[in-house]
Structure 1
Amino acid sequence: MTYHGETRRTPFAPAGELVAALCLSAVGVAAKGLQSVKTIGRVMERRQMMAELSHLDDHMLRDIGVTRADLRDAAATPLFEDPTQTLVTRVRERRAAARLAAWRGNPVD
């Protein structure tokens, strides 16, 4: 009820606010849990891709800029970390080193 623009509180208002806060908190926890499940699923999918890459021969791996050592290092990352980040970092480092060597005049094979 309002009287002249003021809201009059009922005795049940604090309980309603508590229930609303608990509901919002539960929704937030559920959303974070769902995000964690999605992240774990994505990491497991990428680990499966790593296993498929390991079946390629060295020539095919060289074509995409990856070595067997890169695959071993990526597979050694902790279980719930994305192993493809290690591969991306290694490829970028290798390309940067090749560009620097070409710029200096002694290209790397």
Structure 2
Amino acid sequence: MFSASILLQILACVLYANWWPMLSALMYVLVPMPCLFFGGGSTAFLSSRDGGGWVDAAKFLTGASAVGSIAIPAILKHANLIESGAMFIEFTSFFILVCTVLCYHRASLEDSWDY
């Protein structure tokens, strides 16, 4: 699923001969960074109610970079730098990436994988 998301990201650029949509790929790199730096590499802190300065900062930065992944293609379309088709391909790519992360999060939280 992750590979399909990256493929759509590249196709949004190649099909319309415009590489501006690759800016949202920068956000794909930034989304997991708060989990790595403040969450200890685990996504369990995102669904917990435990607070604290660093945990709240990590939740905020994760949300801000996720919103940026949607906002960048919308802003580029509004500025007429990309076409509507590229924007919708970017949204589809983001949706697939979110589904991938949610599947990973669900699989990492389950304890029933031990046979």
Q: Same fold (TM over 0.5)?
A: no
Higher relative contact order (CA 8 A, sep 6+): 2
Scaled by the length of structure 2, the TM-score of the pair is 0.29
Scaled by the length of structure 1, the TM-score of the pair is 0.30
Greater Cα radius of gyration, structure 1 or 2:
1
